[in-house]
Structure 1
Amino acid sequence: MALRLLAALVAAFFLAGCASKAPVPGPSSREPATLRPYTIKGVTYVPLRSAKGYREEGIASWYGPGFHGKRTSNGEVYDQYQLTCAHKLLPMQTKVRVTNLENGRSMTLRVNDRGPFVAGRIIDLSQAGARELGVHARGTARVRVEVEGDAPGAGPGGELPGPFYVQVGAFALRGNAERLFARLQAAGYAGSRIQTREIDGALLHLVHAGTFPTSAVADEARFRLGERFTGAFIIAQ
């Protein structure tokens, strides 16, 4: 996992460096990317703005090896060993209690991805979640999904409080990080910062655009900055 993370950070370094003369996207009030309608296989889905009171029953499936280490819909790196899930409509970061109606097992998972897009299925569990709920061996099971609040610490509309940042670059040379940092500040991201971390034995200078008061605002910034910096993702303070 550490090697994958290092590879992603190094890739971000090269992507940021290759187009250093292009302008940095400025702040915008556009709607968060994960709340916008989207179309898959000819079907258009309209994500919910609040998860409060949501409840449904249907077929759960799970996903793992083919997606492990790739980006989820909210910009995280998918880790099949964490207790997460994918849902077509619920807001990102929503916590849901999933109960396997075939064996009575129940547990809480966090929504961080979109799916499943197979007819008749209502939720995709991580491999870890599928094992805990007894779904892994069979592949599918009938479940009940119930939201536990909007999201941890969420305010009106289900938004998480911040501050949040969007990581847009990782550099071996401090000078490169400082140049990108200056460009972010000039573009209106006054709360941007540089953090130095040792990752798998390599010292990297991470550039974070910010700050953003809620997860929804950060997700919008990630979408906008991702058009310029491939692989941009959200981090909490």
Structure 2
Amino acid sequence: MRKKITFHLLSVLAIIFLSAFTIGGPKAAKKQQRPAQDTVKVLASKLDSIAFPVHLKYKPFKRDVHASYYADRFNGKRTANGSKFNNNKYTAAHRKFPFGTKLRLTNEQNGKCVIVEVTDRGPFSKGREIDITKRAFREIAGDKSSGGINVTIEVVE
């Protein structure tokens, strides 16, 4: 009987002793793993947009063409090149450019520009030359409530 009580008492003390190490351990590790706030901003800016150096060359393709943006219902669906569509990326749909071609679109009203990558085919409406993601559209559009803008398309070489 005395051996059982001693065994149970020692096992309870061992559990309490070992649990004291596990309570403080993960919290300290989480605080050390958190990166500095500036690092997060830099990484987010590099991952979100298509980074391009200033010295790129652009070959003019068309001026004064109508560009519209994708509807939200296409999020998660497959594009013509097989990748999943995401309205928060910088991609576009064009009828003729090969997949992977990078295009610079410049809004003719305000001069803002964005670089997108062709990942899909379309648009299939008459009068439209290119479809771009909502994120790219909002970045260059002056009037965010409009559904289309006139842009100049240049091929990034």
TM-score category by the smaller chain? 0.5 to 0.7
What's the % identity of the aligned pairs? 38
2:106 alignment counterpart = 99
Q: Is the 1:84–1:110 contact (alpha carbons within 8 Å) kept by the matching residues of 2?
A: yes
Give the stretch that moved more between structures: 129-138 or 103-112: 129-138
TM-score with structure 2 length normalisation? Answer: 0.59
Partners of 2:68 and 2:88 in 1: CA distance? 15
- Find the counterpart in structure 1 of residue 61 from structure 2: 55
Tell me by how many angstroms 1:137 deviates: 1.8
Q: 1:67 aligns with which of 53, 71, 74?
A: 74
Kept in 2: contact 1:62–1:136 (CA 8 A)? no
How do 1:1-237 and structure 2 match up within 5 A? 53=59, 55-57=61-63, 58-134=65-141, 136-149=144-157
- Partner Cα separation in structure 1 for residue 81 and residue 113 of structure 2: 25
Tell me how far apart the structure 2 counterparts of residues 66 and 56 of structure 1 sit (CA, whole Å): 29
Corresponding residue number in structure 2 for 1:227: none
Q: 1:94 to 1:136 in 2, by over 3 A?
A: farther
Change (3 A) 1:56 1:110: same
User: SS of 1:86's equivalent?
Assistant: strand
Structure 1: which 4+ aligned runs deviate by more than 2 Å? none
For 2:107 and 2:75, the matched residues in 1 are separated by 24
Q: Which has the larger radius of gyration?
A: 2
CA offset digits 1:149-192 (Å, max 9, x no partner)? 2xxxxxxxxxxxxxxxxxxxxxxxxxxxxxxxxxxxxxxxxxxx
**Larger proportion of strand:** 1
Q: What TM-score do you get using the length of structure 1 for normalisation? A: 0.40
Q: Which consecutive residues of structure 2, in runs of 5 or more, have no partner in the other structure?
A: 1-57
SS at 1:121's partner residue?
coil
The offset of 1:64, in angstroms, is 3.1
Unaligned ranges ≥5, structure 1: 1-51, 150-237
- Is the alpha carbon distance of 1:118 and 1:136 closer, same or farther for their aligned partners in structure 2, counting shifts above 3 Å? farther
The letter of the residue matching 1:119 is K
Instruction: Find the aligned partners of 1:75 and 1:66 in 2 and give their Cα distance.
Output: 17
Higher helix share: 2
Which residue identity does 2:116 align to in structure 1?
A: L
1:220 maps to which residue? none
Structure 1 residues 128-153: Cα deviation after superposition (integer angstroms, max 9, x where no partner): 1111011642111110000002xxxx
- Are the equivalent residues in 2 in contact too, given 1:127–1:136 (CA < 8 A)? no
Q: What secondary structure does 2:68 align onto?
A: strand
Please give the alpha-carbon distance, in whole angstroms, between the structure 2 residues aligned to 1:136 and 1:110: 21
The question of whether the paired residues in 2 share the 8 Å contact of 1:60 and 1:121 is answered with yes
